Structure 1
Amino acid sequence: MTAPQVVGADAVIHSNLSRVLGMLHRDGPLSRAQLTRQSGLNRSTVGALVSELSGLGLAYETEPPAVGRAGRPSPLVHVNEKVAALTINPDVDAVTVGLVGLGGRVHRRIRYEAATRPSVKETVNISRAIIDGMQGELDGMDRIVGIGAAVPGLVRSSDGSVLLAPHLEWSDEPFALVLEDALGLPARAGNDATLGCLAESIYGAAVGVSDALYLNGSASGIGGGVISGGRPLRGAAGFAGELGHTLVKSDGGTCHCGRSGCLDAEVRLERLLEPLGLKSADQEELEQAMAERPTPELLREIQRQIDLLAVALTNLVNIFNPDMIVLGGFLGALYSQDPDRLASAVAAGTIGGLGAGVRIRRAVLGSELLLVGAAELAFAALLANPAGT
């Protein structure tokens, strides 16, 4: 049944509630005076909206810190971090479950290492077991709004179905619907790298950047996302951003997509793990091992991968003309080993000197990146209509 359309004055109130809650969610605690300036609304309207959000359990106020100014300072308005979402990120070597509050606050992150790549059923079972073990944290929340899932593959944005996740060996799986049925909460799913891009643009390295590229490297491979003109580039069916399939080596290895020499086939996490004697590692474990055991074999592999990554980034800069490139997952760890080598190659290789002005940054959200991005899916309906969700 379709919800009744909100019209007239009620529509304005709903829109303003959404605007103020979105500002608190993205920007952190703001005073009523700051909300008034940034929203363009008058002071009494902001006061009424803050009161309504507080009544809905979505915001609260605290006294501001003393600043030595005359007059009564404006209270600080906070988004309620105890309004939270569950997040799920399946990968070939692990399933990670998170509990994320409004404002991007990660309350808990649990990574379960899987012996084999998890099927949809196994992902759901692992997630259910982890969530059952998180009951104490869940009881401490005011509300769980739903589930957001970040999947390394082609995910249809309209219904959260996974059309193809080749490294997981998933095909035509109604993943969001399966999660809803199994866990009893509304669920949405999206591509992991696209969600990582979204998270970094809201809370991370690309805050305030209107044109940015994001590439994430995980055990499943390399994915990407594009922010163009301040908006995520989604494509006709939501599949835009498969940046891992940029050609970097014409005589390279065969990619799972059927072509040869893709970035996803040549720049691989397992090729960094092999000289370290590791079978799997998250980002923090990888960086620690690289720092402790910088063998000649590892250093050669690092240089090889940086040079191939530079080829891909050069092509992408020529196509998208970004202001910033953000590297997440193991790509961020790779970049940190020799940032000048990568930046110099991109600057020298692009047409018309386009690469010289591009800023290359590591993703700052680290291992929490995909959890925060996936939570945005679950929060979307609440942020759009705070009073009606």
Structure 2
Amino acid sequence: MSSSTPFCQAAEHKCRPHGRQGLRGVVTSVSMHDPPRLQAAAAPAGVALSAGRLLHLIRSESGVTRAQLLARTGMSRTTLTERLEQLTAARLIRESRSTDPTGGRPAKIIEFDAADKVVLTIDLGHTHARVAAVSIAGVPLAATEIAVKGRSPSELVLAALIKAAEEVLQRCPGWEVVGIGFGVPAPVVQEGQTHWDSSPMRGWSERLISDTLQGRWPVPLVLENDARALAIGEDSLMSSAESGVDILLAVKFGWGIGAGVVMDGHPLRGSTGAAGDIGHTRVTRDGPRCRCGRRGCLAAYASGRAILRQLRHRRVTSLSDVVTLLDRKDPEVTATVRRAGEAIGHVLGGLLACINPSVVVLGGLLGHHPLVVRSVRAEVKSSTLPRMIERTSIQPSRLGEDAGTIGMARLVVRSLYSPEAVDSRLKLLTE
């Protein structure tokens, strides 16, 4: 790699440790628990909960006593004690403060042991990547961003990401990495079924990512589409607020345009992992050529890449330049971005009519800008029947750059501590 032409460069003023207390305000209130419909219920008569299912129940509570677990599960005291000893030995639960005494010996509270455990997240975009360490509770502790140049070889990008991750983790001394979440601008169906044929990820593979990252940190790895991760992060905030959101649609509007749909806390991926890939919705049969090879795609009209192409005569070279000129109310830039917002709103109008979400969140470097939010709202309102959107809120992202980070961490935590994963881990420990 030539020192004169680096493919990745650390972004200035982007590395910022949040400290053990986490971010102030909205980020500290996200939910990392599974949706209510997945919470553990009492075991059928005569059937004891597995250790994994018992942990699932403990995680769904803010604190529970042994007596309460006995009552809720119907397990025998001996079996419950055995399960709790397994979970304690694996550092998955701990007994902490006592409950207020009501006479006699006070009962200890059993809690999920989240102390000093972090998830390493990597949100890889078209032009930059964000690397962060996130606590099990969903609080970003430290983060940095690096610029990624065009078609840099995947091996070199991964090497730069590992270096950035090591620097981030140095700000969390004593914390243990328990999982890795990797967000990619490509369709993801499920583990082992990742589609890499989209132009931003050509030359990449799931095997390459897993071998490289798990060679450095031998912990579970979860891959997810970047826009979908953003949606999951925003949904975690809504879940914490108990706002009754059943369907959330999030749009990531930056260099590209993508969307994620979360229904009852679970991401909608589709049969090929392409659910939410609205950037390749055809607006017209002609028009500018898209990177996919067709003409008239939404991304060819309205993506950040398209906006920079339209403004190249102004020597606008980055989306940060676009945002700066928007804030200065530059007439030409404002008109260009407004048209992009209207195009996105037009496509969303049809999507909203199909899924009728409770909330639409606009994120990404351009998506959360007030001008874009206003443009999208106005176009959706003008192109959609009122009864289809009368209970739909269209709003900017509240988590900002942390949305994808928190979404990936939430997926990792859900995968790591699922009943099946916990039972498998405990089985290996006893063999």
The aligned residue for residue 260 of structure 1 is 295
The aligned residue for residue 82 of structure 1 is 116
The aligned residue for residue 243 of structure 1 is 278
With over 3 angstroms needed to count, the CA separation of the structure-2 counterparts of 1:281 and 1:346, relative to structure 1, is closer
Q: Aligned partners of 1:172, 1:136: CA distance in 2, in Å?
A: 28
Structure 2 contact 93–110 (Cα < 8 Å) conserved: no
With over 3 angstroms needed to count, the CA separation of the structure-2 counterparts of 1:62 and 1:117, relative to structure 1, is farther
With over 3 angstroms needed to count, the CA separation of the structure-2 counterparts of 1:157 and 1:123, relative to structure 1, is farther
How many residue pairs get aligned? The number is 363
Where does structure 2 lack aligned partners over 5 or more consecutive residues? 1-43, 426-431
The aligned residue for residue 144 of structure 1 is 177
Compute the displacement of 1:314 (Å): 0.5
The aligned residue for residue 15 of structure 1 is 53
With over 3 angstroms needed to count, the CA separation of the structure-2 counterparts of 1:310 and 1:88, relative to structure 1, is same
The aligned residue for residue 346 of structure 1 is 380
* 2:240 is the counterpart of 1:214: no
Compute the displacement of 1:367 (Å): 0.8
User: Which letter does structure 1 place at the counterpart of 2:125?
Assistant: D
User: Which letter does structure 2 place at the counterpart of 1:19?
Assistant: L
Structure 1 contact 89–96 (Cα < 8 Å) conserved: yes
Q: Aligned partners of 1:365, 1:204: CA distance in 2, in Å?
A: 11
The aligned residue for residue 311 of structure 1 is 346
Structure 2 contact 367–373 (Cα < 8 Å) conserved: no
* 2:235 is the counterpart of 1:201: yes
Q: Aligned partners of 1:83, 1:366: CA distance in 2, in Å?
A: 24
User: Which letter does structure 1 place at the counterpart of 2:377?
Assistant: A
The aligned residue for residue 4 of structure 1 is none
* 2:392 is the counterpart of 1:358: yes
* 2:198 is the counterpart of 1:165: yes
Structure 2 contact 196–202 (Cα < 8 Å) conserved: no
Partner secondary structure for residue 154 of structure 1: coil
Compute the displacement of 1:52 (Å): 7.5
With over 3 angstroms needed to count, the CA separation of the structure-2 counterparts of 1:374 and 1:160, relative to structure 1, is farther
Compute the displacement of 1:137 (Å): 3.3
Structure 2 contact 130–143 (Cα < 8 Å) conserved: yes
Aligned pairs (5 A) from 1:1-389: 11-21=49-59, 23=60, 30-32=62-64, 56-58=90-92, 80=114, 82-141=116-175, 143-159=176-192, 161-170=194-203, 174-180=207-213, 182-185=215-218, 186-204=220-238, 208-219=244-255, 221-270=256-305, 274=311, 278-280=316-318, 287=323, 289-290=324-325, 292-334=327-369, 336-337=370-371, 339-351=373-385, 353-385=387-419, 386=422, 389=425
With over 3 angstroms needed to count, the CA separation of the structure-2 counterparts of 1:74 and 1:280, relative to structure 1, is farther
Q: TM-score, normalised by structure 2?
A: 0.71
Compute the displacement of 1:162 (Å): 4.2
User: Which letter does structure 2 place at the counterpart of 1:370?
Assistant: G
Structure showing the higher strand proportion among its residues:
1
Q: Aligned partners of 1:115, 1:180: CA distance in 2, in Å?
A: 20
Structure 1 contact 179–187 (Cα < 8 Å) conserved: no
Structure 1 contact 160–177 (Cα < 8 Å) conserved: no
Partner secondary structure for residue 366 of structure 1: coil
Compute the displacement of 1:360 (Å): 0.6
User: Which letter does structure 2 place at the counterpart of 1:378?
Assistant: V
* CA deviations over 1:165-185 (Å, ceiling 9, x no partner): 312434655344333454242
Q: Aligned partners of 1:183, 1:307: CA distance in 2, in Å?
A: 45
Where does structure 1 lack aligned partners over 5 or more consecutive residues? 1-6, 25-29
Compute the displacement of 1:189 (Å): 1.3
Q: TM-score, normalised by structure 1?
A: 0.77
Compute the displacement of 1:77 (Å): 5.5
With over 3 angstroms needed to count, the CA separation of the structure-2 counterparts of 1:315 and 1:307, relative to structure 1, is same
With over 3 angstroms needed to count, the CA separation of the structure-2 counterparts of 1:90 and 1:251, relative to structure 1, is same
Structure 2 contact 189–271 (Cα < 8 Å) conserved: no
Compute the displacement of 1:297 (Å): 0.9
Structure 1 contact 215–222 (Cα < 8 Å) conserved: yes
* CA deviations over 1:348-387 (Å, ceiling 9, x no partner): 3124631233111222221112222222343233220346
Partner secondary structure for residue 401 of structure 2: helix
* CA deviations over 1:285-329 (Å, ceiling 9, x no partner): 865x24642211111112211211110111111221222211111
With over 3 angstroms needed to count, the CA separation of the structure-2 counterparts of 1:338 and 1:177, relative to structure 1, is closer
Mean Cα deviation higher: 181-190 or 123-132 = 181-190
Structure 1 contact 225–243 (Cα < 8 Å) conserved: no
Q: Aligned partners of 2:216, 2:412: CA distance in 1, in Å?
A: 14
User: Which letter does structure 1 place at the counterpart of 2:127?
Assistant: D
Q: Aligned partners of 1:217, 1:299: CA distance in 2, in Å?
A: 16
User: Once superposed, what is the RMSD of the aligned Cα atoms?
Assistant: 3.9
Mean Cα deviation higher: 267-276 or 105-114 = 267-276
Compute the displacement of 1:195 (Å): 1.7
Fraction of identical pairs, as percent: 23
Mean Cα deviation higher: 269-278 or 11-20 = 269-278
Mean Cα deviation higher: 195-204 or 230-239 = 230-239
With over 3 angstroms needed to count, the CA separation of the structure-2 counterparts of 1:218 and 1:302, relative to structure 1, is closer
* CA deviations over 1:187-245 (Å, ceiling 9, x no partner): 221211122212211225896411221211232x1111122355322223433222222
Larger CA Rg, structure 1 vs 2 = 2
With over 3 angstroms needed to count, the CA separation of the structure-2 counterparts of 1:210 and 1:269, relative to structure 1, is same
The aligned residue for residue 15 of structure 2 is none
The aligned residue for residue 27 of structure 1 is none
Q: Aligned partners of 2:173, 2:261: CA distance in 1, in Å?
A: 37
User: Which letter does structure 1 place at the counterpart of 2:408?
Assistant: A
